Structure 1
Amino acid sequence: MEGTIVLYTFPEIGHVISTVELGKLILHRHGHQFAITVLLTIGFGDSPSITSYIDTISRSHPSISFRRLPPVSVDPANPPRSHEAVAFDFIRKNSDGLLQSLLDISTASTVKVLIIDFFGTSAVPIAKALNIPTYYFLTSGASALAAFLYLPRLFERSTKSFKDQAGVVLDFPGLPSLKATQMPEPTLDRDDPAYGELCYFCDHLTKGDGILVNTFEALEPKAVELIASGVCVPDAPTPPVYCIGPLIGDESSRASDSIVSGQQDCLSWLEKQPMKSVVFLCFGSRGRLSAEQIKELAVGLEKGGHRFLWVVKNPSSHDGGIGDVDLEALMPEGFLERTKERGMVVRSWAPQVAVLRKEALGGFVTHCGWNSVLEAVAAGVALVAWPLYAEQHMNRNFLVQHMEMAIGVEQRDGDGFVSGDEVARAVRELMESERGRELREKSWAMREKAAEALGDSGSSTTTLAELARAWSRLPKPMNSIQCKLWVSALV
């Protein structure tokens, strides 16, 4: 074994899962060369789901080492800040713990490479000082990467907050345009500290030795070519970009036994439905709709007339736990009874990967989170795109206009509300129209390309092998004595 690859993730379950899947892939293909250590923070974003997931992975993949950094606290009220600003501050405050962890790991093994999350930019100067090559890992796709690389140019030209620019459309070279008010939350308010932080993150994407992306070339060829052309960063070299996906997590480790045992019924129900007849609706681990929107969505499903499997969480105003969803109170009166012959409503969670791979699935209404997109792509399921937060509005436009694998819903300006009539229209278009048939055919063909990318001679496998060869040839970073001298100089 030639050394250790250290992965530094962001404390959110989707990021953690993608990072662990990257580690598993490296071990599967190149475990004879490298050990894997994943660094985890403590103090912000901690959740039972992350703890349970890590515990399960530790048992099923003991070759992956997890190291927790010392606890760090941040006060969201001092000064008052957005959730994103607090998260970014928290990551920065983990710099000391990150440094010490790299020093500790280096006493037993050579740290060949540090792979950091998009939000882990504060690690770059530490790794460079220790002479450790640093690569970014983007848990979004290549299209989102192209947009993030270009964002500093939009920031430079903007004179007021994007949230105050209703009706303004932002142009990205070679990419679909986007309404200013649909930009990722940290960019909306120039007075929010998160705005400056995201500017910093985007600008420093070019400072790494390379960028790994959870996608594959056949899925996003336009974006891959766009980045390589240099138009996203016209004033600086763009680091090499490596498409190494699709990385899809093992969902059996994501939910507690009590939830899983109660939700497996949906798989049995799907097996009794006709082929390609069911629309699946699920909005991700963080996706919670308002009570009004839940009722309106139910109205749309009833009007649409198609079979459906719908995962319902408590509304966004509700503080209750995962298992106490009151469906009778949330749904329109009589909805569950009227639709019981063609629909199933599941509380809180369903085994999404398994659901998408069932023959009964004909479409997927999704929030456009990238993990969910890749799961649908790998299963060959066409999409109805209903973005909620983060970069999901970007993903919607990419899916609809560039990849041509989704039908987008029209959302009300301001709050993103979707009418029942619009829900019915989008579902019918996907399931009944000629365009929907074409999207389903393209999605099924992309399923084959996704499998090919991870095959023994596939594009993603070849790219990872190229990286592994480069990493194995890298000179050794500082030894432990040099590291200690360097730290002493800082103190």
Structure 2
Amino acid sequence: MFLSSPPPSKEARIQASISTSKSSTSLVLKLDCPRAVKNLDSVPSSQGVNLDMIAKFFKAADLFQQPFEQLIQECKPDCLIVDMFFTWASDIANKYDIPRLMFNGSSFLSLCISDSVNVYEPQKKVKSGSEPFVFPNVPGDIKSTRDQMAVIYTQNEDDKLTRSVKKWREAELKSYGFIVNSFYELEAAYVDHYRNVLGRKAWHVGPVSLCNRAIEDKVDRGKKPSVDEQKCLNWLDSKQPKSVVYICFGSAVDFNAAQLTEIAFAIEATGQHFIWVVKKEKSNNEEDWLPEGFEERTEGKGLIIRGWAPQVLILDHEAVGAFVTHCGWNSTLECVSAGLPMVTWPVFAEQFYNEKLVTQVLKIGVGVGTKKWVEVVGDFVKRDAIEKAVKEIMVGEKAVEMRSRAKAIGEMAKRAVEEGGSSFRDLNDLIQQLSSRRR
């Protein structure tokens, strides 16, 4: 049984994914709570997603506890796979002697850093937000600053979100183990550390984006694309291999007009071909951010997609040479799986940790230089820094070296999910362990 936190508007998307497996069935719990924040996507972009809204979202998740326990009594599942928001699920699982596995969509490095932050609190031992420190008891001497950390780790002990973090931590320690969308070869030191040093059970089963490789699966991932996939493919087919920069910042990041203008000037100055995914819909009131004549000057060289893009389909195309990304873990893994280097532009959540994996550990990325964790609007980056990073990832000897490393890691990712690969073996091991509990 899977327990995740999709709002009603996302129910159809998830049901469509489940239906691709002939052996899968699903049950949906309806939540009648009009005052709760049930869908962060529904928050108007002009308001942004703030911490108060996130706190309300967590509160809404707690309302599932009673109907979920009733469902457990009726269905008697062999296993629960639960995301981080349902902290009470561990107690229910233990009550009915059901192994509860956590899934929160992050990397092993992020899990290791989170443990370090919770245990050692290094962010409280520096004098300023910009002073660098090393995360204690984490391989690789990974450095950060307090400014690059989620505010939930820097607020007072009585803050609502700080208390939520403690609840996540307690639920993690009570769980049977973690399922992680990653593969051993990508972050071996952190897999070993999490398992052998911290003593936690965990299984890497990814990259999950490599499990469904049909074109329709790539196109239908997430929302319905805002562009005709064939038009997109035809445009890419007209370009030379590794000549296109793909620019996309995920579903939550919401840059303001000034930042979008800086990106436009920067990408034009690079002279590179590009696909740029922009959340803002085209209208007379929302086009002030686009420099005058930009689309005319870049005609043939650039494709702007307003809304949702078939990202996996684009990244897998041979014309794409690099990805400018916010470093969300799904996007990072999709890029890794495609064997591409990245321009890293973290904004919030654990994205700064993912950037360190890409740039410091794997050495397949160049950062634009973001210094601060600033919710969904991001730390402002000037056009010169963007232009410099894009050129560095696309042109020159360093770009060739990063592209070679990224390609090799992409091949490892594909082998990991094949029969006999590291993720294939880990998934089988997990199934065997769960099966043995039934005997």
Same fold (TM over 0.5): yes
Q: Residues 143-190 of structure 1, C-alpha deviation per residue, up to 9 Å, x if partnerless?
A: 1111122221244x6669x9x942233431325122112212433433
Structure 2 CA distance for partners of 1:53 and 1:260, relative to 1, 3 Å: farther
Look up the SS of the partner of 2:299 in the other structure. coil
Q: Which TM-score applies when normalising by structure 1?
A: 0.78
Shift of 1:59: 4.1
CA contact (8 A) 1:303 1:421 kept: no
What is the CA–CA distance in structure 1 between the aligned matches of 2:401 and 2:202, rounded to whole Å? Answer: 31
CA contact (8 A) 1:245 1:460 kept: yes
The residue number in structure 1 matching 2:46 is: none
Instruction: Show the 5 A alignment for 1:477-488.
Output: none
CA contact (8 A) 2:181 2:207 kept: yes
The residue number in structure 2 matching 1:166 is: 129
Q: Does 1:141 align with 2:107?
A: yes
What is the CA–CA distance in structure 2 between the aligned matches of 1:271 and 1:10, rounded to whole Å? Answer: 38
Q: Does 1:442 align with 2:402?
A: no
Shift of 1:373: 0.9
- Residue 226 of structure 1 aligns with an amino acid whose one-letter code is H
Shift of 1:119: 2.5
Aligned counterpart for 2:95 among listed residues 121, 129, 133: 129
CA contact (8 A) 1:118 1:138 kept: yes
How big is the alpha-carbon RMSD for the aligned residues of Structure 1 and Structure 2? 2.6
What is the CA–CA distance in structure 1 between the aligned matches of 2:164 and 2:13, rounded to whole Å? Answer: 29
Aligned counterpart for 1:418 among listed residues 377, 381, 396: 381
CA contact (8 A) 1:384 1:426 kept: yes
CA contact (8 A) 1:307 1:342 kept: yes
- Residue 393 of structure 1 aligns with an amino acid whose one-letter code is F
CA contact (8 A) 1:138 1:145 kept: no
Q: Does 1:330 align with 2:289?
A: yes
CA contact (8 A) 2:346 2:370 kept: no
Equivalent pairs counted in the alignment come to 413
What is the CA–CA distance in structure 1 between the aligned matches of 2:335 and 2:175, rounded to whole Å? Answer: 31
What is the CA–CA distance in structure 2 between the aligned matches of 1:277 and 1:260, rounded to whole Å? Answer: 21
What is the CA–CA distance in structure 2 between the aligned matches of 1:416 and 1:448, rounded to whole Å? Answer: 34
Structure 2 CA distance for partners of 1:441 and 1:154, relative to 1, 3 Å: same
Q: Residues 374-420 of structure 1, C-alpha deviation per residue, up to 9 Å, x if partnerless?
A: 11111111111111121111111111101212111112557511110
The residue number in structure 2 matching 1:428 is: 391
Q: Does 1:395 align with 2:346?
A: no
Aligned counterpart for 1:189 among listed residues 134, 155, 160: 155
Structure 2 CA distance for partners of 1:260 and 1:185, relative to 1, 3 Å: farther
What is the CA–CA distance in structure 2 between the aligned matches of 1:432 and 1:450, rounded to whole Å? Answer: 25
Aligned counterpart for 1:243 among listed residues 201, 204, 223: 204
What is the CA–CA distance in structure 2 between the aligned matches of 1:307 and 1:390, rounded to whole Å? Answer: 30
Gaps of 5+ in 1: 1-5, 12-44, 315-321, 477-491
CA contact (8 A) 1:135 1:210 kept: yes
The residue number in structure 2 matching 1:82 is: 52
What is the CA–CA distance in structure 2 between the aligned matches of 1:467 and 1:62, rounded to whole Å? Answer: 21
- Residue 139 of structure 2 aligns with an amino acid whose one-letter code is G
Select between 142-151 and 365-374 the one with higher mean Cα deviation: 142-151
Shift of 1:310: 0.6
Q: Which runs of 4+ in 1 moved over 6 A?
A: none
Aligned counterpart for 1:459 among listed residues 419, 422, 428: 422
CA contact (8 A) 1:85 1:192 kept: no
What is the CA–CA distance in structure 2 between the aligned matches of 1:89 and 1:228, rounded to whole Å? Answer: 31
Q: Residues 218-248 of structure 1, C-alpha deviation per residue, up to 9 Å, x if partnerless?
A: 0111211222342xx4xxxx22221111111
Look up the SS of the partner of 1:67 in the other structure. coil
Instruction: Show the 5 A alignment for 1:75-474.
Output: 75=35, 82-106=52-76, 111-155=77-121, 165-172=128-135, 173-175=138-140, 176-190=142-156, 192-230=159-197, 233=198, 238-248=199-209, 250-254=217-221, 259-261=226-228, 264-314=230-280, 328-411=287-370, 413=372, 416-474=379-437
The residue number in structure 2 matching 1:37 is: none
CA contact (8 A) 1:325 1:347 kept: no
- Residue 243 of structure 1 aligns with an amino acid whose one-letter code is H
CA contact (8 A) 1:185 1:389 kept: no
The residue number in structure 2 matching 1:10 is: 5
